[in-house]
Structure 1
């Protein structure tokens, strides 16, 4: 199963693509325009289908804005058949294009081909304000400075930033990060949070908020 994002302003096209991809067992997120896209979730998609002719921010501009945020294939869906447009789109970082109108089998085969060939060395990054997470290297950077976190501290930060805005109790954080078979208990979370805050405060950031009586959250 792949996680696929589809952007197209035509409702009929969105429904058609969704039905096809669901039959293939994929998880599908549909958006009519770029304003509906959650940038924080972009790094988790395995493939993005992107219409060129959209009102407001068109597909070319969307591709330019998201290419540095994602490592997955981007496929244009387009009624524009001019070679210069297609060359321009691929030059922006798209991997391929599918011309409208398209058939079910063509869409499936093109998507599956890209998913099979996708062997990039993913260097997924999450950006939260001026705090940058390198998920592959398990590093946290503030501006150009690397923060010296322990493995446990990093895992707590990664869990919170992936779910930023949500409040989690110490028990929930402990189970998510260390699992039920961890060698300590949830009371250690408070100590980890204190150490994380001390290290981040040294570089002028304090993203972790205490919600009294409930737990902690990474502020949006």
Structure 2
């Protein structure tokens, strides 16, 4: 798995933090961002609903939110998305108020928070969930998970063929560097690349641009480097 890098436009984890205490919320946000997380903020369950998407990897949820029941909210969430949830609570014995059963140790953290423990627990919860394999490239309007083969633009899924996925991955993982035609042929067609002409690569790129670009005839993201190959320009500049 590619190592996570902490800049936007690189591989990052995305966490939704639902915490009403704005001072604590800010400290949580800063601690997570220093560890390379992309933080999506909400201060109520209603805001959390508005910011939820398939792009979130983990939810940190204050059990003492005032606009609803956090445990019921989690159960509703599970009907829509399979996301790990880490509760934040000030109670010594954390109990699921929806069922009356104690929460498992990995389900909650006690306040006041030790932020190094918070970050470590968040990583641990993510590792034990399927979303560890979904760590993605995020930048501009895009979010790509090459391990789970899920691709989004402005939050909407993109349907890519297998060869289009291979081509996109080769370019994105080069992180802005030009990738030669020969390397791309090898990355997409493997051992068959010797029998595949550059015209096949050009055709695959044309189809990929139709799905990625706002104006395919004037590509901003999948750029041609004349005489060399192509490069991925994640911010479209």
Secondary structure of 1:50 counterpart: strand
Secondary structure of 2:54 counterpart: helix
Per the alignment, residue 52 of structure 1 pairs with: 63
Per the alignment, residue 32 of structure 1 pairs with: 43
Distance 2:80 2:45 in 1: 14
Structure 2: 5+ residue runs without aligned partners?
1-11, 135-146, 158-163, 172-180, 182-200, 211-237
Task: Name the stretch that deviates more: 58-67 or 16-25.
Answer: 58-67
Per the alignment, residue 93 of structure 2 pairs with: 82
Per the alignment, residue 155 of structure 2 pairs with: 162
Structure 1: 5+ residue runs without aligned partners?
124-135, 139-154, 165-174, 193-220
Matched, 1:73 2:84: yes
Higher relative contact order (CA 8 A, sep 6+): 2
Shift of 1:81: 2.8
Aligned residues: CA RMSD: 4.5
Q: How does 1:100-111 map to 2 (within 5 A)?
A: 100-111=111-122
Secondary structure of 1:108 counterpart: helix
Inter-CA distance 161–16: structure 2 relative to 1 (3 Å threshold) = closer
Shift of 1:72: 2.6
Distance 1:119 1:25 in 2: 19
Distance 2:105 2:99 in 1: 9
Of the three residues 19, 40, 45, the one matched with 2:30 is: 19
Q: Could you tell me whether the CA contact under 8 Å between 1:4 and 1:45 is conserved in 2?
A: yes
Aligned length: 155
